[in-house]
Each structure stands twice: as C-alpha cells, then as structure tokens.
Amino acid sequence: MPESGAARLERVFRDAGRPLFVPYVMGGYPDMEASRRHAQILAAHADIIELGIPFSDPLADGPTIQAAGQAALDGGTRPVDVLDIAGDLRDGPPVVVMTYFNTVIAQGARDFLAAAAAKGVAGIIIPDLPVDEAAEVREAARAVGVALIALAAPTTDDARMAEIGTSAEGFVYLVAVTGVTGGEMTMDDRLRALVDRARRHIPVPVVVGFGVRTPDQAAEIGGLADGVVIASEIIRRIGNAPDPGAADDAVDAFGAGVAAALRPYSG
C-alpha cells in the first residue's frame, strides 16, 4: 500500500520544521509548455505545488486568476493535460490540484480522482465544495489516496472551524481575507486572531493564502501559520514578463525569494 496523499502532505510539514511555501501554477497559462516549465522551476523552491485546472466560472477568484484561467481555456487546456504536469513532478514536492466542483463531477468524481491519483496527486482543493457538501467526495478521494483539502474563512465561526477540523486531512487552507483571490492581505490583529482561532480548532497544519504578494508578507504569515500560498502574484509576474525566458527567470527569482524569506524559521 503506497503512502496516502494525506500522509505525504503531513510528513512534508513535519520534516520541514518551518513554514512551507506553496506556490500556485495555473495549468495551461500562458501556454501548456510554459506552465509545465514554471512548475518545474518552482519545484526547486517549493514544499508543495498547487496546480490549478482552469474553470470557466471561477467564483472564488479575482481578475488575475480569472484571466489566466480564461487564457488557458482559450488555448485549449484540458484537465487531463494539467494532470500530466503533476505526473512530471512525481519525484518533486507533493502536488495539490485546485479546481472547481463541476470539473470534478463532469465525468464522475470517482474517475476524476482516480486519474489524479494515477498521476501522483496528493490532494485536491475545491473552493466551491464547503464541508457540508463534501462527505461523498472526501470518501471517494480517500479511497484512491487523495486528500480533500478543506477551506476555512474569516467568516467561519468556531463551531464550523471545529466541524472542518474533524474531517480535515493533509492541511486546511485558511483564506486570509473576506473576498476573492488577488487582493492584498494586511497583517493585523484580525488576521492574527483568525489564524490563532483556526489553529485552536483544526488538528492538521493550517496554510494561509489569498492576497499574499511579497516575500516579506510570506515571512509574516510564516510567523503564525504552517505555510503560505502565493498565486495571483506569480501569475502577475508571468504576465508582465516581456518574453518566455524572462517569465521563467521571474518565476525562479520570486520562488527563491519567498523560500529564502521562510528559511530563517528552520530549526
């Protein structure tokens, strides 16, 4: 029996002994080959890779990820192609796929999850599948060794935090802001209290994302949480690069910068 995705993820947190860096790559943006390269480049700096499968109507995403996803779809990106990128990263950091629920159920959740598992995917994040709707998918995912990563938000009350904690595996993705992706978080007492509340109710590692833009912000989050997700900022840097080589360099430099910002927490 191979190690489950949940066990692999939890082992990465244990072994690192410092907050983890979880960069996001949108599969198929700006094109399939480039996203494959960006995933490889980030693998050298990251502890976990969040791999986005584009969806036509991403309700939790702001303009940056929306536009990237639409560009990927316009380029003909399909879920199977994105899962191939996960297959390439088998010997690297664990991959957590992020996509919306309709992508998962379009051909049947069981088949989708089995295909992801076959590519070595460790976990899946489905932002429009709240904990009360998730039981069936969580079981189907668990059966093939994929962890369903739950989300919690600033508006999640204590009772719900505890409910999320009860079934959580791998880690919990804590949304730093009341809003969609692509804004900017601010480290303040509210955010500190939120992370604190989440950690009290949730027994697995807590990773914070939404609105984290700079290595300094990542380091601030690292002082509180078990990991930090950065998504829109990476896409923005890719979009601003004048050519593919410059985009690769920008991804590399940014990834190295965030990893360095989190390193002082080691040991």
Partner 1 sequence: MSVNMRFGPYGGRYVPETVIGALDELTEAYERYRDDPDFLSELGVLLGHYVGRPTPLYRARRLEDAWGIGSGLWFKREDLCHTGAHKINNALGQVLLARRMGKERIIAETGAGQHGVATATASALMGLGCRVYMGRTDMQRQRLNVIRMRMLGAEVHPVDSGSGTLKDATSEAIRDWVTNVDTTHYIIGSAVGPAPYPEIVADFQSVIGIESRAQMLEETGRLPGSVVACVGGGSNAIGIFRGFLDDADVALVGVEAGGEGPSGRHGASLALGRPGVLHGSYSYLLQDPDGQVAEAHSVSAGLDYPGVGPEHSHLRDIGRVTYVNATDEAALSAFLECSRLEGLIPALETAHALAHVRDGAAALRDGGPVLVCLSGRGDKDVDQAGAALGIDASA
The catalytic residue positions are 50, 61
If one asks whether residue 5 binds partner 1 (CB under 8 A), the answer comes out as: no
Percent helix, strand and coil across the chain, each to the nearest 5: 50, 15, 35
If one asks whether residue 103 binds partner 1 (CB under 8 A), the answer comes out as: yes
Looking at the Cβ atoms of 4 and 99, the one nearer to partner 1 is 99
**Of residues 114, 204, 209, the one with CA closest to residue 162:** 204
Q: Which of 153, 191, 225, 261 binds partner 1 (CB under 8 A)?
A: 153
If one asks whether residue 70 binds partner 1 (CB under 8 A), the answer comes out as: yes
Q: Supply the angle between the helices 79-88 and 109-118 in degrees, to the nearest 10.
A: 30
Please give the structure tokens belonging to residue 22.
Answer: 């979880």
| 133 burial type by CB count under 10 A (0-12 exposed, 13-18 middle, 19+ buried) | exposed
Looking at the Cβ atoms of 174 and 258, the one nearer to partner 1 is 174
Considering only 39-47, 96-104, 214-222, 254-262, which stretch makes contact with partner 1 by CB under 8 A? 96-104
Q: Name residues whose C-beta falls within 8 Å of residue 208's C-beta, 6 or more positions apart in sequence.
A: 174, 176, 195, 221, 224, 225, 227, 228, 229
If one asks whether residue 130 binds partner 1 (CB under 8 A), the answer comes out as: yes
- CA–CA separation, 173 and 229 (whole Å): 9
If one asks whether residue 166 binds partner 1 (CB under 8 A), the answer comes out as: no
Considering only 14-22, 43-51, 126-134, 233-241, which stretch makes contact with partner 1 by CB under 8 A? 126-134
Q: Name residues whose C-beta falls within 8 Å of residue 187's C-beta, 6 or more positions apart in sequence.
A: 217, 220, 221
If one asks whether residue 139 binds partner 1 (CB under 8 A), the answer comes out as: no
For the CB of residue 131, give the shortest distance to partner 1 in the complex, in Å: 8
Do the beta carbons of residue 86 and residue 95 sit within 8 Å? yes
Q: Which of 1, 2, 14, 132 binds partner 1 (CB under 8 A)?
A: 132
For the CB of residue 35, give the shortest distance to partner 1 in the complex, in Å: 17
If one asks whether residue 101 binds partner 1 (CB under 8 A), the answer comes out as: yes
Looking at the Cβ atoms of 146 and 149, the one nearer to partner 1 is 149
Contacts to partner 1 from residues 16-55, by CB under 8 A: 55
Phi, psi of 8 (to 5 degrees): -60, -45
Looking at the Cβ atoms of 101 and 252, the one nearer to partner 1 is 101
Q: What counts of helices (H) and strands (E) characterise the chain?
A: 12, 8
If one asks whether residue 160 binds partner 1 (CB under 8 A), the answer comes out as: yes
Considering only 9-17, 38-46, 172-180, 224-232, which stretch makes contact with partner 1 by CB under 8 A? 172-180
Q: Which of 105, 144, 162, 187 binds partner 1 (CB under 8 A)?
A: 105
- CA–CA separation, 6 and 8 (whole Å): 5
- CA–CA separation, 55 and 11 (whole Å): 30
Binding site for partner 1 (CB under 8 A): 55-57, 59-60, 62, 66, 70, 73, 78-79, 100-107, 127-133, 151-157, 160, 175, 178-180, 183
